[in-house]
């Protein structure tokens, strides 16, 4: 029996770090920057107006007020997007819009609300501080500086900044192509009718969703019979096109363990991990491609994903924060756990405002077939291997989804 930490370390090592690849910005959301990127332009790229109004010299409106307005001829109109450079002659104003370039000679902008909005001539009802309402070149980002550092997780703000400094692609850790294979002669795909002894397939649906949420490109083979020849024939030809194979089922102790029987002699090792659910696990390489074999019970699949695949995939994608948030919470009822195994129970966590710790109650029993209870959970309750009972009202560790 190996520990959860040992198996997790093996999967992290197996998946390694994904190589860098340049992707269009639209495909980078949620991914991690693989290299520093520098700004090709300053932000703002030119001195521009922060307000709609009139570009002036502060000295030309000195002493202006409601009672003693200053009247200036309007020499030019500068909407946003004007690209020529009309200088402001002394004693004049240029009408200017937000985002338009401040003309050489002007040192401030008077907002339109402090004027009579004149087109030929304008009356100004207040003074202007030099620099007022001017956004300076480079005050956000200096040209040539590192705009986004390696390791940055690319969300909307980061992608917006990349485009603002003139980039249309970014170097990111390439999302892996993953093949998900569900094994089991009993599996039927909805909406086909079920016969007695058959069940509807669900593991691949869960794995595809969980993998896609991390940015992986996923394909699935949803139902392979418990037959070594069929398994090899339907999976091996696809290996050349993927970076990772994830299987479910066929790894425990029975007579028809198709994944174990197919892969044990090609470089995949199988072990029992000291956890419940998710005990029977395997990992290794098949034709050089990393393989992670998960047990077949649906709850075991999701708990194994949380314990092993999620942290390993996030690490491979360049994330440093790969763990779910862990908090302490008070248990609503006594829970029992098998000796020598870390138990992960599905739970519902709440935290009242003003309370020091939150409260957590189990959803469903420990059985790894109880998928409906999982749909009501927002966390996993963790009971360590050396603990066999946690009493009502005592504190436990909780991993928040």
Ligand X SMILES: Nc1nc2c(c(=O)[nH]1)N[C@H]1C(S)=C(S)[C@@H](COP(=O)(O)OP(=O)(O)OC[C@H]3O[C@@H](n4cnc5c(N)ncnc54)[C@H](O)[C@@H]3O)O[C@H]1N2
The 245-264 site mask, x for binding ligand X (CB under 6 A), equals: ---xxxxxx---x-------
C-alpha to C-alpha distance for 318 and 150, rounded to whole angstroms: 9
Going by C-beta distance under 8 Å and a sequence separation of 6 or more, which residues neighbour residue 226?
Answer: 183, 184, 185, 250, 256, 257, 258
Which of 45, 69, 175, 279 lies at the binding interface for ligand MOO (CB under 6 A)?
279
Is residue 183 close enough to count as binding ligand MOO by CB under 6 A?
no
Closest CB to ligand X among 96 and 251? 251
Q: Please tell me whether residue 298 binds ligand MOO under the rule CB under 6 A.
A: no
Residue number, nearest CB to ligand MOO: 277
Q: Per-residue DSSP letters for 223-242?
A: EE-S-HHHHHHHHGGGGGG-
The binder of 108, among ligand MOO, ligand X, none, by C-beta within 5 to 8 A per type, is none
The smaller minimum CB distance to ligand X, of residues 158 and 368, is found at 368
Name the token pair of 309: 């695949």
By the 8 A CB rule, do 298 and 206 touch? yes
Is residue 203 close enough to count as binding ligand MOO by CB under 6 A? no
Least Å distance, CB 287 to ligand MOO, is 27
Question: Is residue 247 a contact residue for ligand MOO (CB under 6 A)?
Answer: no
How many other C-beta atoms can be found within 10 angstroms of the C-beta atom of residue 188? 16
What residue number has its CB nearest to ligand X? 296
Per CB under 6 A, 368 contacts ligand MOO? yes
Q: Compare residues 276 and 337 and give the one whose CB is closer to ligand MOO.
A: 276
Contact 225, 198 (CB under 8 A): no
The values of phi and psi at residue 246, to 5°, are -120, 125
| Residue 295 touches ligand MOO, criterion: CB under 6 A | yes
Tokens of 271: 């072990």
CA angle 175, 152, 169 (to 5 degrees): 60
Element (H, E) at 12: helix 4-15
**Residue 278 in contact with ligand MOO, rule: CB under 6 A:** yes
Q: How many residues bind ligand MOO (CB under 6 A)?
A: 9
Q: Which residue stretch of 64-72, 181-189, 332-340, 350-358 sits at the interface with ligand X (rule: CB under 6 A)? A: 181-189
Distance of CA 124 to the CA centre of its chain: 51
Q: Tell me, by CB under 6 A, how many residues bind ligand X.
A: 24
The candidate with the shortest Cα–Cα distance to 228, out of 281, 195, 269, 266, is: 266
Beta carbon nearer to ligand X, 181 or 244: 181
In the complex, least distance from residue 306 CB atom to ligand MOO, rounded to whole angstroms: 13
Q: Say which entry of ligand MOO, ligand X, none residue 315 contacts (CB below 5 to 8 A, set by partner kind).
A: none
β partners of residue 232: none
Pick 64 or 381: Cβ nearer ligand MOO:
381
Residue 189 contacts ligand X per CB under 6 A: no
Q: Which is nearer to ligand MOO, 96 or 251 (CB)?
A: 251
Would you say how long the chain is, in residues? 401
Q: Considering the rule CB under 6 A, would residue 248 count as an interface residue with ligand MOO?
A: no
The footprint of ligand X on residues 265-324 (CB under 6 A) is 277, 279-280, 295-298, 300
**What's the rounded Cα separation, in Å, for the pair 135 and 142?**
13
**Binding test (CB under 6 A) with ligand X, winner from 368, 377, 382, 398:** 368
CA distance 392 to 177: 44
Quick one: 220 or 276, whose CB is closer to ligand MOO? 276
31-68 as b/e: b if 16+ CB within 10 A: bbbbeebebebbbbbebbbebbbbbbbbebbeebeeee
Q: Cα separation of 59 and 71, whole Å?
A: 13
Which residues of the shown chain bind ligand MOO in the complex (CB under 6 A)? 276-280, 295, 297, 300, 368
Which residues of the shown chain bind ligand X in the complex (CB under 6 A)? 182, 184, 186-187, 199, 201-203, 248-253, 257, 277, 279-280, 295-298, 300, 368
């Amino acid at each position: 029996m190996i520990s959860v930490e040992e198996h997790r370390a093996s999967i992290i090592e197996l998946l390694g770090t994904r190589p860098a690849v340049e992707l269009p910005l639209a495909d980078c959301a949620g991914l991690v920057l693989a290299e520093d990127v520098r700004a090709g332009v300053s932000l703002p790229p030119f001195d521009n107006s922060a307000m709609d109004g009139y570009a002036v010299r502060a000295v030309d409106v000195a002493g202006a007020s409601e009672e003693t307005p200053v009247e200036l001829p309007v020499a030019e109109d500068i909407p946003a997007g004007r690209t020529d450079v009309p200088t402001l002659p002394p004693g004049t104003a240029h009408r200017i819009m937000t985002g338009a370039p401040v003309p050489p000679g002007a040192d401030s902008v008077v907002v339109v609300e402090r004027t009579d909005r004149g087109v030929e001539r304008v009356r100004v009802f207040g003074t202007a501080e030099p620099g007022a309402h001017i956004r300076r070149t480079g005050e956000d980002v200096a040209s040539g500086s590192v705009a986004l550092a390696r390791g940055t997780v690319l969300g909307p703000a980061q992608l917006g900044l990349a485009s603002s400094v003139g980039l249309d692609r970014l170097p990111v850790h390439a999302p892996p192509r993953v093949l998900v294979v569900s094994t089991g002669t009993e599996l039927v795909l909805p909406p086909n009718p079920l016969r007695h002894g058959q069940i509807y397939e669900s593991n691949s649906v869960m794995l595809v969703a969980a993998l896609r949420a991390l940015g992986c490109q996923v394909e699935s083979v949803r139902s392979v019979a418990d037959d070594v020849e069929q398994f090899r024939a339907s999976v091996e030809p696809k290996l050349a096109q993927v970076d990772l194979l994830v299987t479910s089922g066929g790894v425990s102790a029975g007579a028809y363990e198709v994944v174990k029987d197919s892969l044990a002699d090609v470089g995949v090792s199988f072990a029992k991990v000291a956890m419940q659910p998710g005990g029977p696990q395997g990992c290794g390489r098949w034709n050089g491609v990393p393989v992670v074999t998960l047990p077949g019970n649906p709850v075991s699949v999701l708990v194994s994903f949380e314990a092993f695949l999620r942290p390993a995939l996030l690490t491979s994608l360049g994330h440093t924060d790969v763990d779910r948030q862990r908090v302490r919470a008070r248990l609503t009822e006594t829970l029992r756990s098998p000796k020598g195994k870390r138990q992960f129970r599905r739970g519902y966590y709440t935290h009242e405002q003003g309370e020091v710790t939150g409260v957590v109650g189990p959803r469903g029993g420990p059985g790894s077939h109880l998928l409906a209870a999982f749909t009501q959970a927002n966390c996993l309750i963790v009971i360590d291997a050396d603990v066999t009972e946690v009493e009502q009202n005592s504190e436990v560790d909780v991993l928040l989804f």
